[in-house]
């Protein structure tokens, strides 16, 4: 199993090539060390989702997601703002 460090995940976009959300892009924004959960914005619908560290490892090892790019800091900041806005609408 190929392990990725958080640096290679956080701030990066991955393409989901299998499953019920096939064709979506996942932008990994934050990682909660205590809960071991990633905060993710799924594009193009801007759905905020949470993915566990073990689930992410499985996605990578099974080839379910593919690395696309690391976002530039200004784009990443806007994406984080959008994630927080979407979460505030839920709560």
pLDDT tens column, 5-29 = 555 789 999 999 998 889 999 999 9
Whole-prediction pTM: 0.86
* Residue 1 domain-assigned (yes or no): no
Q: What's the pLDDT tens digit per position in 55-87?
A: 998 998 899 999 999 999 999 999 999 999 999
- Is 74 among the domain residues? yes
Q: What is the pLDDT of residue 85?
A: 96
pLDDT at 3: 47
Which structural domain range is residue 58 located in?
A: 6-90
CATH number of 52's domain: 2.30.30.30
Residue 15 lies inside a defined structural domain of this protein: yes
3-state SS track over the chain: CCCCCHHHHCCEEEEECCCCCCCCEEEEEEEECCCCEEEEEEECCCEEEEEEHHHHHHHHHCCCEEEEEECCHHHHHHHHHHHHHHHHHHC
């Amino acid at each position: 199993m190929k392990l990725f460090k958080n640096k290679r995940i956080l701030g990066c976009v991955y393409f989901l090539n299998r499953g019920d959300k096939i064709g979506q892009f996942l932008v990994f924004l934050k990682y909660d060390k205590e809960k071991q959960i990633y905060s993710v914005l799924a594009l193009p619908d801007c759905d905020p989702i949470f993915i566990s560290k073990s689930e992410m490892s499985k996605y990578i090892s099974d080839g379910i997601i593919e690395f696309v790019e690391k976002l530039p800091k200004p784009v990443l900041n806007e994406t984080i703002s959008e994630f927080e806005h979407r979460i505030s609408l839920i709560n």
